Structure 1
Amino acid sequence: MRTVEILQYTLHKGTGTAFHAIMQEISVPLHQRHGIDVVSFGYSLHDSDCYYLIRAFDSAESMVAVLDAFYANADWRNGPREEIILSIVTSIKTVMNLPPESVEGLRVQS
């Protein structure tokens, strides 16, 4: 089993395109450099100012440790953090355990 975190964001009206650019060009590569498995991310089909980020971890304990280290790191704090946070109106987090094949089924191939 893998621990999967799904983050859903409602963004300030009209900021979806800029938010996606930050995610694609800065935030997701930063996550990956820190060893975080970003399974998928992008706009919701119903509204370009709604966004999702799906990340997978080895366990719930691993998720907490990895994310604590990531969010405390200067790369995040001095990088895209402020611009991302200022774009988000609301954030919803869901965490679940899924078999590896289900995680792979969620993965967006680029």
Structure 2
Amino acid sequence: MNRLIEIRTYRLKPGTLDAFHAAMHERAVPMLRDKGMDVVTYGKSDHEEATYHLVRAYDSREALEARQAAFYGSSEWRDGPRSALVDCIDTYLNTLLWVSPEAIDSMRALNGTS
């Protein structure tokens, strides 16, 4: 069954990449996974120093909307790592694409995030 992936690309404010990565790796990604979101890959982008990516997979658009509404509306997020991340972001862009399970497995393997 094909899955919907969300590719979120962040352009970060100068000098914030290391703090952003630490907050994502240590706090936000574990929270996302605890809430049932499939984090495929995340991390620093290879092509520019001030860019970062987060790729998540969902079974449907409805699943994406429901999981994200629950997560981003939670006090755990708002009172947790939200400000440490949002304060680093200059802009971001979301892209949604339907892909095969094999494509998702390949993204996991090639990008090495756990």
Q: Show the counterpart of 1:74.
A: 75
Q: Show the counterpart of 1:6.
A: 7
Structure 1 residues without counterparts, runs of 5 or longer: none
**C-alpha separation in 2, matches of 1:78 and 1:49:** 26
Structure 1: 4+ residue segments shifted above 4 A: none
* AA partner of residue 22 (structure 1): A
Q: Show the counterpart of 1:61.
A: 62
Q: CA deviation at 1:48?
A: 2.6
Q: Show the counterpart of 2:29.
A: 28
CA contact (8 A) 1:3 1:60 kept: yes
SS in 2 for 1:48: coil
Aligned residues: 110
Q: What is the Cα-based RMSD across aligned positions, in Å?
A: 1.0
Q: Show the counterpart of 1:18.
A: 19
CA contact (8 A) 1:17 1:48 kept: no
The TM-score with structure 2 as length reference comes to 0.92
Structure with bigger strand share is 1
Q: Does 1:101 align with 2:92?
A: no
The TM-score with structure 1 as length reference comes to 0.95
Structure 2 residues without counterparts, runs of 5 or longer: none
Answer with 41-50 or 6-15: which moved more.
Answer: 41-50
**C-alpha separation in 1, matches of 2:3 and 2:51:** 25
